[in-house]
Structure 1
Amino acid sequence: MSFTTRMLGATLLAGIGALVSAAPSVAEELTIATVNNSDMIIMQKLAPEWEKATGNKLNWVVLEENVLRQRVTTDIATKGGQFDVLTIGAYETPIWGKAGWLAPMDDLGDDYDYADIFEPVRNSLSSDGKLYAVPFYAESSFTFYRKDLFDAAGLTMPEQPTYDDITKFAEKLTDKSKEQYGICLRGKPGWGENMAFVGTLVNTFGGRWFDEKWQPQLDSDAWKSAVGYYVDIMTKYGPPGATSNGHNENRALFATGHCAMWVDATSAAGYIYNPKESKVADKTAFAKAPISVTPNGAGWAWAWALAVPASSTKQEAAKSFLKWATSKDYVKLVGQSEGWVAAPPGTRKSTYENPEYVKAAPFADTVIKAILAADPAHPTKDPVPYTGVQFVAIPEFQGLGTTVGQLVASALAGEQTVDAALAAAQEQAVQTMTEAGYIQ
């Protein structure tokens, strides 16, 4: 089975001014595909600054996360040429770069200051030592919680909570008559939606996707314990209709005061702590991602990044935009125009050395420590043949992860038992890995 066929199979299964000095002399019209997360919405708002400086024009295709991944994967695997700039992540970039589908990003100039980008973030977007995308923001995961509700209930969140702690807190802080839910977690199916959280839950409960011989482990006791925990706590203390809630929906629930706790991406902190966006900006605190059997893989490692397809005929203009949108000057522009709390997090050392950002972002130190502590090479208690914390860095994972996400969502919705869902997930994983030649 060819590499392209594997990637297409994966997406079908998913169902789903110094910095502009390099701008070309002839104006170009670029199409950019991006996700509808808050940081990207700010990028779209500020992009006219680059357009004015260069004479180029951007056409925006802004999509929900699952849809973005499907559209971009299909386009690049078929060399469809719809997009000149892609928003992709730490999962796709090394795989697609190795396949020759992305333009290298090592020629943006000395003034770009590659050394300012945190090394683990650069590494996550590289293959064989070559950078194939530049990071727009990076994140791990941690626990947001309502300090006012904790104080009123006489509760104290530990710096390092356990999932047992989270259950006790969720029980005490749920008041469904007030639409106040003890816990909000991702339920929308997708390898980068519900499985981003569930993957870390499985890790810390002692589970893994595959053993050292690539044999799937989805019907193991650890998986059953982790997914059983997830379904139980969300059924008792989570919001109704949780299988429709991904990152953005939960962010909105928390920001409007409906969640006592939320375990999710550290990048959301800039939104939650921004009084222009959040009703709980002055009522929120944070702790590390919860742990269970092991701390390994409890907090994810991710970067959203910008890349240029190797097939693009407008690479010079596209790279000019990438350089601008991921630069130190862009971070300053966001800080000055939107407030420093909204600056893109997790990518550049200079951001965390900036006293204005540190003052505006009380979460800054915790976030960067979480990002640097995440270890994609050792994501689980037991040895594994793959890298990746909340994903498995193989082409087949995009489809398999989403299929498993759909089965987990069906268990959360009460359509089948956890054991039945995981038995089906195991069967699908065995079939996928056998067809791809990982196992005989």
Structure 2
Amino acid sequence: MIIMKRLSPQWEKATGNKINWVVLEENVLRQRVTTDIATKGGEFDVITIGAYETPIWGKLGWLSPLNDFDKSYDYADLFPSLRNGLSVNGTLYAAPFYAESSFTLYRSDLFKQAGLVMPEHPTWNQVAGLADKLTDRSKGVYGICLRGKPGWGESMGIITTMANTFGGSWFDMSWQPQLTSQPWEKAVSFYVDLLRRDGPPGATSNGFNENQALFATGHCAIWVDATSAAGRLYNKETSKVGGVLAFAQAPVDVTPKGAAWFWAWSLAIPATTHHLDAAKSFVQWATSKDYVNLVGTTAGWVAAPPGTRQSTYDNPNYQKAAPFAGMVLKAILSADPAHPTENPVPYTGIQFVAIPEFQAIGTTVSQDIAAALAGRETVAAALSAAQAQTVSAMQQANYLK
């Protein structure tokens, strides 16, 4: 997005239009955009949303269809799973500017110094054991960094994938919440203990951006998070650890299902826009093959938007600049939102549940778990409160009798 903002004057000059950028922290972005579009406030002409909101809002008629870009856009070049995830009944409602899964990033220099090896497909227990050996608080190095900042799209992203791979799910087939089940208790206890033992201080304040900054400045030995971080961290102009960055698949436990998430940050146009033609022109430009090439030639190919187009991964310039590209693509394409858990569930979505109520539910549960992480209550008490609140929310929404 930083690069897009820097390059956007080229679109402005070519079209005569002007963009007024509003840059918000992730949790604030989600709240403000959701409020505006649900109330038909009409504050924005183009919004940044993801794979959770797009099909829900598209179905409700809150978004403008994006099926009529010109031929040069090449819809077929977008990965099919991405097109499907951002469409309703074959109609595209958001255009992806990058897509991601999750995986394990680590510092190869610290591993080499300690005589340690990261498995290509690690388990969470293996990751925890390695983190224990790499924590050196005297040098400001923490064995692992994980999201702890509350938010359905912040800490709940990593926590839900952990619950999935520990054998859990948000709901059973009757929509009964499962937050006090054994897999959730084990997963959240593991998460809390690991971060307290080997994580940085104040973990409840650290989301994606904060952890990325910690890793880029050499303070994290291991970080499990979005594949989209790879380009920025590999780039020596934006990262002190670019020369020692290494990758492995997302950690697993009793099942590989739902261990790595699926997400696509995308540009959408509210149905309330008064500048539809200009908005469509910008969205097409900012998510096109030409734009990817523009980024590659001006900001460096390592910074090219990942995960969206086959042509990007076929480009030898990108392959050379981004040796992690194959692993990233494998993680994105292997993520299966339709089958996110070991046992059958009535919902789709890996690190979220694709129902309108989840945004509020996920945020509330994340706050309960943050209280346990901060030591204000036990994991059992936090999950008991989360279970009760989620049952109440599902009853109010008529999922439960």
TM-score normalised by the shorter chain: which range applies?
over 0.9
Which position in structure 2 is the counterpart of 1:399?
360
CA RMSD of aligned residues (A): 0.5
Return the alpha-carbon distance in structure 1 between the equivalents of residues 369 and 290 of structure 2.
42
Superposition map of 1:135-284 within 5 A = 135-284=96-245
**Among candidates 105, 114, 123, match of residue 84 of structure 2:** 123
Taking every aligned residue pair, what percent have the same amino acid on both sides? 69
Amino acid at match of 1:280: V
1:245-324 alignment runs, 5 A limit: 245-324=206-285
Aligned partner of 1:355 in structure 2 is 316
After superposition, what is the alpha-carbon deviation per residue over 1:271-328, rounded to whole angstroms, capped at 9, x for unaligned?
0000110000001100000000100000000000000011112111000000000000
1:298 counterpart letter in structure 2: A
- CA distance in 1 between partners of 2:199 and 2:10 (Å): 42
Moved more, 119-128 or 286-295: 119-128
SS at structure 2 position matched to 1:47: helix
Aligned residues: 401
- What SS is found at the alignment partner of 2:248? strand
Q: CA deviation at 1:101?
A: 0.3
Structure 2 residue runs of 5 or longer lacking an equivalent are none
Give 1:127 shift: 1.1
Matched residue, 2:66: 105
Secondary structure (helix, strand or coil) at the match of 2:19 reads strand
- CA distance in 2 between counterparts of 1:249 and 1:321 reads 29
1:352 aligned counterpart, secondary structure: helix
TM score, norm. by length of structure 1 = 0.91
**In the TM superposition, what is the alpha-carbon distance from 1:128 to its structure 2 partner?**
1.5
CA deviations on 1:30-80 (whole Å, 9 max, x unpaired) are xxxxxxxxxx11110110010000000000000000000000000000000
Letter of the structure 2 residue corresponding to residue 363 of structure 1: F
Specify the SS of the correspondent of 2:144: coil
What is the CA–CA distance in structure 2 between the aligned matches of 1:114 and 1:129, rounded to whole Å? 12
Tell me the alpha carbon deviations over residues 115-156 of structure 1, each in whole angstroms, 9 at most, x when there is no partner. Answer: 000001111111122110000100000000000110111111
Q: Does 1:427 align with 2:388?
A: yes
Question: For residues 129 and 415 of structure 1, what CA distance do their matches in structure 2 show?
Answer: 47
Q: CA deviation at 1:110?
A: 1.4
The 2-side partners of 1:85 and 1:204 are apart by 36
Q: State the partner residue of 2:336.
A: 375
User: Which residue is 1:385 aligned to?
Assistant: 346
CA distance in 1, matches of 2:386, 2:324: 37
Gaps of 5+ in 1: 1-39
- Whichever residue aligns with residue 351 of structure 2, its letter is Q
What TM-score results when the alignment is normalised by the length of structure 2?
Answer: 1.00
Picking from 337, 342, 348, the partner of 2:303 is 342
Query: How much does 1:170 deviate?
Result: 0.4
User: What is the letter of the counterpart of residue 336 of structure 1?
Assistant: T
User: 1:149-203: per-residue Cα shift (whole Å, max 9, x none)?
Assistant: 1011111111100011101100100000111000000000000000011010000
Aligned to 1:56: 17
Q: Which residue does the alignment assign to 1:33? A: none
CA deviations on 1:338-381 (whole Å, 9 max, x unpaired) are 11000000000000000000100011000000000000000000
AA aligned to 2:164 is: N
Inter-partner Cα distance in structure 2 for 1:417 and 1:49: 53
Q: Specify the alignment match of 2:5 in structure 1.
A: 44
- Runs of 4 or more consecutive aligned structure 1 residues displaced over 3 Å after TM superposition: none
Deviations 1:233-292 (A, max 9, x none): 000000000000000000000000000000000000010000110000001100000000
Counterpart of 1:150, as a letter, is F
Structure 2: which amino acid aligns with 1:390? Q
